[in-house]
Structure 1
Amino acid sequence: MSRKARKNVGVIGLGIIGTRVAAGLRAGGFQVYVWNRSAKPAPNFLGSPAEIAESSEVIQIFVADAQALFDVIEAMAEAITPKHVIICSSTVGPEAVLEAAQLVQARGAQFLDAPFTGSKVAAEKKQLVYYVGGDEAAFVRVRPILEATSKSIVRMGEVGHASTIKVVTNMISAVTSQVLAEALAIVQKAGLEPETLTAAIEQNACRSGVIDLKLPKMMSGDYDPHFSLKHMFKDVQLGIHMANALDIEIPATTVTAGVMYGALNQGWGEMDYSVLFKNYTPSEVFDELPALEHVLAQRAGAQPPALPSESATFSEPVPEPISASALVVAEPTFTVLPEPISVTAEPVTTLNGSPAREMVPHEEASRIIEAVLAHVSSQRRELGVVMHENRHPAPKTVEHAAEEKPAAALVNDVEKDAEAKPAETTQPEGDESKSEGKPVNFVRRWFVGRSQS
């Protein structure tokens, strides 16, 4: 207790922002004591949250999710006194913040809901913006501490209000980043230089801070995290959860969540969330398909013909190919599509958007297609990628609030609701501009088609 002083501040959570806030407070003349779940070589690193509470009466918390917040409060509960002010700067949503406030206030201490906006660079320059909800007396007491690492403080009323605003503003940032990735992909595919888009946006009303930060990263392929994809996905989940509780449909955010979930499955969670543009960059090139007869022979259980080795010369004898028609292949099975498809509603396109040639299926063609797909599936499994038809993944474990539904479950809920409500009117064939449920269909195309391939 001898270390307590008016300017002692505790910082819990030394991630991208917490580490820089602690440094900014030291630069502002505060004595800073820190703790993190995994030990880090930081000045005044203490052994537990309880030791932080014993050292500092003002504690600012930067943890990833609601469960981590509750764990920290529980760990230091016995050391919390009526003299303490706990500042929650974690983005965990209003429900979790209100519960955390009750736990702190039960110990007689004060609690402020104070999430921030600003990325790594803003934290380094002490240019964060805090949204603060809670008691005015508590705010006045800690205001110098918040001002030491920020350029602005916006008061938000009661506890929970600031967290609501923080979640919805992050929804805007997430959707903006996805639309920006789509726009850049179109520009590049159309043969224009990316700098053309930059010059146009500089003079356009759509320009925003998110675009100024994320467009250069997308163009350069630099996804060093300023704000990681896994944390942005967690915040988008919070937004979907809030919207569901309020019975509000948010299709743009739901689609973005589906795309983010696919990106997480690609292993991009630790990267900056501008990595969404990587969906539009060339993917891994698989080995060239072997001779069709070789694949068909494997499918039939026959001895396949030997393929020429890399060192083979033209003088080597090449085995006679096995005729596809001579093989006995199991009849192909077909999966019923989730919704009827009209062959006249719209032209079929390939994955890159170009028109596909119309082909009439027949028995031999179906055997060939099945054999080729089986080979591609085998190659992808070797690279750790699973084909759509064999994969119905449970959500990956990402840091999120204790009772949050993952994006996959939320997307499924939306689709089930859509299927349960038949359209009130029948639209003419080909009139897609008036058809209902398009956001849901687009989620399915991305979530099932793109992100799992």
Structure 2
Amino acid sequence: MPHSKRQKIGVIGLGIIGRGVTANLRSKGFQVFVWNRTPRPVPNFVGSPAELAEICDYIQIFVSDDEALLQTAHQLSEKLAPRHIVIAHSTVTPDSMRAAAEIVESRGARFIEAPFTGSKIAAEKGELVFYVAGDEATLQEARPILEASSKEIMKIGELGQATAMKIATNMVTAASVQATAEALGLIQALGLPLEKFVEAMKGNASHSTTLAMKMPKMIKRDFEPHFSTKHMLKDMQIANQLGLSNYLDLGVTAAARDQLLEQMQWGYGDDDFSAVARKYLPETESTGHEEPRLAEREEQTSAEATAPAPEVAPVLAQMSLPPSVAAAVVASAGAGEAKEAIPARRGFLTQLLRRARQLLKQPVSSKEG
């Protein structure tokens, strides 16, 4: 990239991170144009992704999920040319990241995968860490843009692998915050001061920057979003899908996902993901706010109890098992024919996974007659 910082940069997605990155780019002398699905009264807001591509050679994408990333890539594609570098920062499935790259590269443009770690404060301070994948020459050209909002740029490997790394790191983050929420609940139930637990954790080997930031806010029930519940839930759903397709029983990740899902069901999807502490640290004085939500939860639980159980067939399809193994797994669960749907019960998927592993290690005999 030319050394002039007057190079025009496009930013798509003005959420928590996109806003922080935009501010950092401008503070470092870059000329930035922006687009967001919901119009914002901000400088250099353009009418569409295609218009952004007409103006800018470098485009950073900060949209939230797989569908949004692929839709954005398609919207950009009509105006993309070899002069463009598109940098995708979304946390999505590796397959979706590779699909977005194909759309961009089919127009002769270049593509960088660059999910990041760091939330609101890191984005505002320009201290994100980018996990990147892509052509080395393209990465070098785009490096000054990434450096404007980061403290480290880590090369991971091929397209799709940087996203996998981001998902894996978020598994640890979600699990550690969930465990901390439970520990705080136990400390409170035992009548111990929560502040003493925070102090004790500072000398514990498992203490981390995340816990140092989250614990005081969890105690205060301050769930202002730095990384939202809905986005962490999406990442844990991706992690569990990847685990399932690779025959891994990700029990802790599944538990973290379920607690995040519960917060979503209670209407707290836009809160910080540390809101999982809400159920373990009830307010000492009733505000009249929680009870209606709990009543709604009871109604929902009752409805779920009478609703039809999900079918296992779609789960088997996601696992990409050989047909003979899939048939044997279903048969071993007492369903008879492989194509027959069977209801998923609590713990059933774990049993299903174990059975699949066993069958993959040994020949599956067919029964005649």
Residue equivalent to 1:451:
none
Q: How does 1:11-410 map to 2 (within 5 A)?
A: 11-282=11-282, 385-386=298-299, 388-392=301-305
CA pair 110-266 structure 1, distance change in 2 beyond 3 A = same
Instruction: Work out the CA distance in 1 between the residues paired with 2:153 and 2:58.
Output: 17
Residue equivalent to 2:348:
416
CA pair 414-388 structure 1, distance change in 2 beyond 3 A = closer
CA pair 36-42 structure 1, distance change in 2 beyond 3 A = same
User: Which amino acid letter does the alignment assign opposite residue 107 of structure 1?
Assistant: R
- Once structures 1 and 2 are overlaid, which stretch shifts more, 278-287 or 204-213? 278-287
1:232-284 deviations in Å (ceiling 9; x for gaps):
00000110011111111110011111111111111110000010000113379
What SS does the aligned partner of 1:79 have? coil
CA pair 381-240 structure 1, distance change in 2 beyond 3 A = closer
Structure 1 contact 238–404 (Cα < 8 Å) conserved: no
What SS does the aligned partner of 1:152 have? strand
Structure 1 contact 237–404 (Cα < 8 Å) conserved: no
Instruction: Work out the CA distance in 2 between the residues paired with 1:420 and 1:144.
Output: 49
1:70-127 deviations in Å (ceiling 9; x for gaps):
1111112110001111000111121110111111111111111100110100111111
Quote the offset at 1:390 in angstroms: 2.9
Instruction: Work out the CA distance in 2 between the residues paired with 1:195 and 1:380.
Output: 28
CA pair 385-133 structure 1, distance change in 2 beyond 3 A = same
Q: TM-score, normalised by structure 1?
A: 0.65
Comparing both structures, which one devotes a greater share of its residues to helix? 2
The structure number with the bigger radius of gyration is 1
Task: Percent identity, please.
Answer: 41
What SS does the aligned partner of 1:153 have? strand
Instruction: Work out the CA distance in 2 between the residues paired with 1:87 and 1:413.
Output: 42
CA pair 277-20 structure 1, distance change in 2 beyond 3 A = same
Q: TM-score, normalised by structure 2?
A: 0.80
Quote the offset at 1:30 in angstroms: 0.4
Quote the offset at 1:161 in angstroms: 1.1
CA pair 77-5 structure 1, distance change in 2 beyond 3 A = farther
Residue equivalent to 1:366:
none
Quote the offset at 1:414 in angstroms: 7.2
Structure 1 contact 229–260 (Cα < 8 Å) conserved: yes
1:208-234 deviations in Å (ceiling 9; x for gaps):
122111101101111000000000000
Structure 2 contact 25–145 (Cα < 8 Å) conserved: yes
Instruction: Work out the CA distance in 2 between the residues paired with 1:230 and 1:147.
Output: 28
CA pair 421-213 structure 1, distance change in 2 beyond 3 A = closer
Structure 1 contact 5–56 (Cα < 8 Å) conserved: no
Quote the offset at 1:182 in angstroms: 0.5
What SS does the aligned partner of 2:130 have? strand
What SS does the aligned partner of 1:386 have? helix
1:339-372 deviations in Å (ceiling 9; x for gaps):
xxxxxxxxxxxxxxxxxxxxxxxxxxxxxxxxxx
Instruction: Work out the CA distance in 1 between the residues paired with 2:89 and 2:56.
Output: 17
What SS does the aligned partner of 1:18 have? helix
1:324-348 deviations in Å (ceiling 9; x for gaps):
xxxxxxxxxxxxxxxxxxxxxxxxx
1:114-161 deviations in Å (ceiling 9; x for gaps):
001101001111111111111001000000000011111111121111
The higher relative CO (CA closer than 8 Å, separation ≥ 6) is in 1
Instruction: Work out the CA distance in 2 between the residues paired with 1:236 and 1:60.
Output: 24
